[in-house]
């Protein structure tokens, strides 16, 4: 084979490998038209700007929601969200990963609305094999209604890591299966989001009700990106590539997470002994 023919063959192999890698890891970041289906709420959910913007609305009749067309088993999932402005008391904007069934796995962000001028509460939870009860709550230290902020979940075989606001970590749920604690690692999950009324519990335990004179309440989404595998896409390329597959919190990131938890965390299930009279969940005693 001539040198020019060999070079051409090598180039073709490189192109093929790149294509295979991209297909395997499914780095999606295109259009809401391509990546999501509106699942409820009729015209309250709108895909705008040639698929680059999605809005959900809530009125007295109904909320609205959407879900991803694809399933994921491990990945880095990013979404930019601008939450309901003004008096959002009683509303919940949920953004989460979930599988289906009684023994489903789930990774939750829920943004609990509040009265004008008061901070949103970010409620997080992790379900494994249908069991949750792992809530951690934070007061957001910025106004999530003035602009879009990126909320990310990094989910790999060792960790479920929550990130928010330019990559600042707020929570790390570790794989402790070796200690008998279930971890979400076998059920592919879709991305879901919804805007709904929960004034029986969302704001001050249900004391503050939704002010329907402020409706419709609207949340906006853009910038979805999924660097992920699973759901029919092999994870081998992700394993060899590294990145999110092997990501853990370094000392700097651990320090930032500790800062958030020290200053802005308002609830941690591991600190609620009254809730667990038979003893705290086993992971609470593991550093």
* Residues tagged active-site: 106, 110
Closest C-alpha among 93, 108, 42 to residue 219: 93
Beta strands in 50-102 (DSSP E): 53-58, 64-68, 75-82, 91-98
Task: Find the helix or strand (DSSP H, E) in which 256 lies.
Answer: helix 251-264
Rounded CA separation 262/249 (Å): 17
Rounded CA separation 53/82 (Å): 11
Rounded CA separation 219/74 (Å): 27
Rounded CA separation 243/83 (Å): 29
Rounded CA separation 274/267 (Å): 13
Q: Say which DSSP state 5 is in.
A: H
Counted residue by residue, the chain has a size of 287
Q: Is the peptide bond preceding residue 182 cis, with omega within 30 degrees of 0?
A: no
Q: Say which DSSP state 180 is in.
A: T
């Amino acid at each position: 084979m001539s040198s020019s023919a060999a070079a051409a063959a090598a180039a073709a192999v490189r192109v093929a490998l790149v294509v295979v890698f991209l297909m395997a890891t499914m780095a999606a970041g295109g259009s809401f038209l391509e990546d999501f289906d509106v699942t409820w709420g009729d015209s309250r959910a709108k895909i705008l700007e040639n698929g680059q913007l999605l809005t959900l609305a809530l009125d007295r009749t109904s909320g609205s929601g959407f879900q991803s067309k694809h399933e994921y088993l491990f990945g880095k999932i990013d979404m930019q969200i601008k939450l309901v402005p003004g008096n959002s008391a009683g509303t919940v904007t949920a953004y989460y990963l979930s599988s289906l069934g009684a023994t489903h796995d789930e990774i939750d962000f829920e943004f609990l609305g509040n009265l004008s001028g008061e901070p949103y509460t970010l409620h997080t939870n992790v379900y494994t094999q249908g069991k949750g009860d792992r809530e951690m709550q934070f007061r957001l230290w910025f106004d999530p209604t003035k602009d879009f902020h990126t909320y990310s979940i990094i989910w790999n075989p060792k960790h479920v890591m929550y990130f928010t606001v330019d990559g600042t970590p707020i929570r790390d749920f570790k794989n402790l299966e070796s200690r008998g604690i279930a971890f979400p690692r076998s059920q592919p999950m879709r991305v879901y989001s919804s805007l709904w009324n929960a004034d029986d519990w969302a704001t001050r335990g249900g004391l503050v009700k939704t002010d329907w004179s402020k409706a419709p309440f609207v949340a906006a989404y853009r910038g979805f990106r999924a660097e992920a595998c699973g759901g029919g896409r092999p994870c081998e390329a992700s394993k060899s590539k590294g990145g999110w597959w092997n990501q853990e919190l370094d000392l700097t990131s651990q320090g930032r997470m500790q800062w958030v938890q020290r200053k802005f965390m308002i609830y941690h299930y591991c600190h609620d002994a009254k809730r667990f009279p038979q003893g705290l969940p086993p992971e609470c005693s593991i550093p």
